[in-house]
Chain A
């Protein structure tokens, strides 16, 4: 305290002497940066910046959709440092007519849509190549061409049903374990909490790996890995901070409910990413929605329900609250499937996957804190076994859903 006061007195006179307001001190480097940029721009590129390097062109074909037979639509974004002019379109090694929305020259971060009247064949691959004015080519292959979903009732209801099957139903089934959890001893409740931790560690790592893998498909200007970092680190911090702002009253019981809500939220965010993946894979023709896959997701996601109710084993909770928790965790799958199928974008997918991973990390942290206060903590053999069991359950049920 004394040191702080001393510092303040030392600061005071210095500020008075220069008479510079604090905000100016903060803004000064920025002002100088602006001046420097203006000088650089008005004086033109100098020396080494002017050497005649060949243009670095980079286009990313973010999405190819097939609105109807005989027509395809290419969504392209310039993620490189230089403007790129799209001169021609090749489909399956043949030049093809096209119409391009707006200007054929894309500035950095510009995007456009190209319509191609191409008689694509259902169920067969299609390779699209854009050729720029300097002859550089950008290729994207669709492994299986199939008519893209449209936002009609059929699609929305199909994917709502799918979301209910793979997201909502399993979560609610899992919630039904609550009476069972109530019956077991405290030691076994901790076991199931640890098991939940295991499930979420698995989900988190899985989502993170997906996000990193997908980040390669993001135009480089959008920095896929940067998005992953933002989502993974930012999400748990935001959830924690929000949780601290609204701390429910009721001591230990309130904290358990808070944990349950956070777990449901984390699983919900994870399921949003999962729904996106299902919807976009379906739209991209990379996924046949066989019943085996649906069964796989059912098994896989039922375990998520245990996670939500595990913290609530030792306290009363209203049915309405349970329904809300289930909805929070399960319904985002439907939303994700809709978004993923209708407007797939690598940037959004990477971000959602990373948020899902971050949410899982947050849940794991919450559970770890909860367990740490119990006897023996995570190191207790039964709890350690629970965590490993959670991982194993996810692995085994995952054998049906790995696409």
Chain B
């Protein structure tokens, strides 16, 4: 560490961080500092100093315990259910979901008393194909009445609104998976605001049957926030719950690798949230329901409950940021990095 720097980073740590790419945020040994290699792709970062040798050090200190919930694993983990074939030849997918009260670590060292589906926030990403029969056994092991309200087309008594499931009770939802697209599920017990911001939500993806989507690296990001002091405002913003997780642990991609990202906005209290990708553009299908109708952009805005599907691949290697384009959300945790490797270094 060169003289005059205030943050306790070792020289080795900085080199390690700087080797990661062009311009980026390195998080090492608990401290965060912007590092900038002298030449893109080259070794030897410099800590950026202001006129009076200060370090811009936006971000949190330390890391969360990922043994109970790892956002990196969650990104690509899908619950396909237990599959069986019905007499009429259709696929039956059987899911188990339990509501549990559990503290979760949303910022290093900060624990939020969450209400969860299967112990995690977001709940498991349910995955199926258009036309499948879905059966979801829901048990409420939490301390308050809950439901599961799925977005989709289904009978009224399967809507998870009026059939309140009290603690220690169960309910089975059964319906056909439609329409194809990016859907979501969440608790619909009152008060809604509390049941949602406490963490009872998840992504629900119905793949189109005909034609199926082209193969791609598939990622799920649920945009959310946490009101840790219960003042009706979020202290933490993130995708997949942990502030700055993908900044501390960048998502590794290859140059040219096809990426499909399912984005769901479950942020409570704030009217909108957004997703901005650096150094790239993406195709964006709102709700993922109309293959012929998409945007080509680098920034999308979503209302609560709104979701979409995007596809992109990187032309250049290096560290590329993605974050809410509301600076406040970004600086309160909703910020991450793609670390793109391979290809020709220009």
Contacts and interface: CB of A to CB of B under 8 A. Distances in A.
Contacts of A98: 61
A95 B6 contact: no
B332 A90 contact: yes
Interface string B43-59: 00000001111111111
A89 B61 CA distance: 9
A141 to B, nearest CB: 16
Contact of A95 (B51, B54, B58): B58
A89 B7 CA distance: 14
A85 B108 CA distance: 12
Nearest to A95: B60
Contacts of A69: 50-52, 54
Contact of A97 (B57, B110, B228): B57
A133 interface: yes
Interface string B156-182: 000000000000000000000000000
Contact of A131 (B33, B52, B56, B235): B235
B60 A132 contact: no
B109 A87 contact: yes
Contact of B110 (A68, A87, A96): A87
Contacts of B74: none
A87 B61 CA distance: 8
B139 interface: no
Contacts of B7: 97, 99, 117
Interface in A107-137: 115, 117-119, 131-137
A117 B6 contact: yes
Given A69-B50, A135-B235, A87 B32 contact: no
A88 interface: yes
Contacts of B250: none
B229 interface: yes
Interface in A71-104: 71, 85, 87-90, 93-99, 104
Contacts of B244: 95
A135 B328 contact: no
Q: Chain B at the A interface: mostly helix, strand, loop or mixed?
A: loop
Contacts of A87: 107-110
Given A69-B50, A119-B50, A131-B235, A94 B229 contact: no
Nearest to A134: B111
Contacts of B324: none
Given A95-B60, A96-B57, A119-B50, A133 B33 contact: no
A93 B331 contact: yes
Q: How large is the interface on A (under 10, 10 to 19, 20 to 34, 35 or more residues)?
A: 20 to 34
B110 A132 contact: yes
B228 A131 contact: yes
B143 interface: no
A70 interface: yes
B82 interface: no
Which residue, of B52, B109, B333, has the highest number of chain A Cβ atoms within 10 A?
Answer: B109
A115 B333 CA distance: 21
A97 to B, nearest CB: 3
Contact of A93 (B6, B33, B54, B332): B332
A71 B7 CA distance: 11
Interface string A375-396: 0000000000000000000000
Which residue, of B50, B61, B107, B228, has the highest number of chain A Cβ atoms within 10 A?
Answer: B61
B56 A94 contact: no
Interface string B226-255: 101101000100000001100000000000
Given A88-B61, A135-B235, A97 B32 contact: yes
B31 interface: yes
Given A131-B110, A134-B111, A135-B110, A97 B332 contact: no
A136 B228 contact: yes
Nearest to A133: B109
B107 A94 contact: no
A135 B229 contact: yes
B106 to A, nearest CB: 8
B194 to A, nearest CB: 15
A45 B33 CA distance: 46
B95 interface: no
Contacts of B235: 90, 131, 135, 137
Contacts of B51: 69
A95 B229 contact: no
B8 interface: yes
A53 to B, nearest CB: 14
A97 B108 contact: no
30 contacts: A70-B50, A70-B54, A87-B109, A88-B60, A88-B107, A88-B108, A90-B235, A93-B328, A93-B332, A94-B328, A95-B59, A95-B60, A95-B107, A95-B243, A97-B32, A97-B58, A97-B61, A117-B56, A117-B57, A118-B57, A119-B56, A131-B107, A131-B229, A132-B110, A133-B109, A134-B110, A134-B111, A135-B111, A135-B226, A137-B231
Q: What are the 9 closest A-B residue pairs judged by CB atoms, nearest first? A: A70-B54, A135-B228, A87-B109, A94-B331, A97-B57, A69-B52, A95-B60, A87-B110, A137-B229
Interface of A: 68-71, 85, 87-90, 93-99, 104, 115, 117-119, 131-137
